A and B are shown apart, each in its own frame.
Chain A
Amino acid sequence: MINYQKIFEAISISLHVSILSTLFAFLLSLFLGYLIAINKFFLKKTIIACLASLTSIPPVCAGLIVYLLISRSGPLGWMEILYTPSAMIIAQFFIIFPIMITLIINYIEDEYPRFRQELNSYGASKRDLIFLMIVNKKSIYFTVLLIGFGRAISEYGAAAIVGGSIDHVTRNMTSMIALETSKGNIIVGVILGLVLISLSLIISFVMSVMKKKDHV
């Protein structure tokens, strides 16, 4: 007998955690991305290189780092968020933030010199410049959001380590697929797998539409 309520619960936990981690990572990427890309400072290239290499951080390692930080004896243990959705949000944030900020920095570094030269001739302030760069290619930011969300919702290792796959609390789609499949409930795994695949197909479709819109 398939427990659809549990399936919906897992989908809802996945969406809740991934949407929030994506939004936090996006907002910080946007803010820091601009700050890093348009200013010249010591160690700029090193920071960008570090962020770029962190894009391929294995989710399990990100989970482990967050676990060490928030476990009872860790420096952030006082927050008591281990095995909560908040811990999963932080772990996913660690995975997707380097990807999102690297994409944003690349875009700004390519476009900024051109924007600065032309818009300065119109007397634009730095604030005008940033505002116009943001509204100029909204599809870039949308793509960054989708890439981040796609990665967040489909990862397993990190959320499982810090979330603990607790029923009704932190059992998201990926951890439920692993658990139910190991218990022999293949059909539940397949249903959730199909939901995940559908989500990733929707994301790919939206991204290709945005890309097409860019190159009409």
Chain B
Amino acid sequence: MFKLEKIFYQNNQRNILNNLNCEIPLNKTTVIMGKNGSGKSTLLKLLNKIILPSSGKLRSNLKRPVPMLFQKPIEFENTVEYNFLILHKIKKHIINRKWFDEFGLDGIKDQHINTLSGGEKQKLFLSRLMSFNQNNLFLDEPNQGLDLESEKLFIELISQEKHKKTILITLHDFEIAKKIADSILYLDKGKIYIYEETHQFFNKFQV
């Protein structure tokens, strides 16, 4: 479980997160939503211990950060296959190719990354992360650039993972959130505006 107690985070004298108090359960899918600049990505990084809070306490089972999907993941000037495998040189792990194959990347594995569209790159970054078989997933706007068909596939694939893993996702799309979230945490100007189980959230929020 992630337990946040009076969490504040400041960057360049600007308050990004303001007095967050909540508990995020394990083995559930929690979607973090909110407008641009509301602190979603910062909260995700903080939960993954990539950044530390300016003040307050974060209790969690995580000892150190785990691989996560960033909004602008690192691209290596090389082929799709190279980009998929290169990070396994740092973190040795049995490679799970399921997402890579499902997204049809095997057919373009020898293409240079610079020839891919934004959506294809996003599929590659998602597949690269999922190749590590982690129990905790931190995904920052995983659907960016995906077309409707790929988005549908993403929902299907993440739904297959969600029962056995703790998943934290930032999203803008309420429809996707409705399909995959067990609970939704809505941030507004760095504060928790609503944090409810999905059906209650949609009852209250009337999106």
Contacts and interface: CB of A to CB of B under 8 A. Distances in A.
Interface of A: 114-115, 117-124, 128, 132, 135-139, 213-216
Contacts of A120: 50, 65
B204 interface: no
A76 B48 CA distance: 55
Contact of B74 (A115, A123, A128, A216): A115
Contact of A124 (B73, B90, B114, B115): B90
Given A114-B70, A213-B77, A215-B114, 6 more contacts: A117-B70, A118-B70, A118-B74, A124-B90, A136-B74, A137-B77
A115 B74 CA distance: 7
A119 B74 contact: yes
Of the listed residues A118, A120, A214, A216, the one surrounded by the most CB atoms of chain B closer than 10 A to its CB is A118
B87 A122 contact: yes
A136 B65 contact: no
Given A119-B90, A121-B68, A216-B114, A135 B74 contact: no
A119 B87 CA distance: 8
Of the listed residues B70, B86, B90, B91, the one surrounded by the most CB atoms of chain A closer than 10 A to its CB is B90
Contacts of A121: 48, 50, 65-68
Nearest to B88: A122
Interface of B: 45, 48, 50-51, 64-68, 70, 72-77, 86-87, 89-91, 112, 114-115
Given A114-B74, A121-B48, A123-B91, A213 B114 contact: yes
Q: Is the interface of A mostly helix, strand, loop or mixed?
A: helix
Nearest to A111: B74
B90 A128 contact: yes
A39 B112 CA distance: 33
Q: Is the interface of B mostly helix, strand, loop or mixed?
A: loop
Contact of A136 (B70, B76, B112): B76
A120 B70 CA distance: 12
24 contacts: A114-B74, A115-B74, A117-B70, A118-B68, A118-B70, A118-B73, A119-B74, A121-B65, A121-B68, A122-B87, A122-B91, A123-B64, A124-B90, A128-B89, A132-B76, A132-B90, A135-B76, A135-B77, A136-B74, A136-B75, A138-B77, A214-B114, A216-B114, A216-B115
Nearest to B87: A122
A122 B90 CA distance: 7
Nearest to B86: A132
A122 B131 CA distance: 12
B46 to A, nearest CB: 12
Contacts of A124: 90
Given A215-B114, A216-B114, A114 B65 contact: no
A182 B50 CA distance: 65
Contacts of B64: 123
Contacts of A123: 64, 90-91
A136 B77 contact: yes
B88 to A, nearest CB: 9
B128 to A, nearest CB: 10
A11 B66 CA distance: 55
Nearest to A129: B90
Contact of A122 (B45, B67, B75, B77): B67
A15 B51 CA distance: 49
Given A121-B50, A215-B114, A114 B76 contact: no
A50 to B, nearest CB: 26
A124 B89 CA distance: 10
A114 B50 CA distance: 11
Of the listed residues A122, A138, A215, the one surrounded by the most CB atoms of chain B closer than 10 A to its CB is A122
A138 B112 CA distance: 14
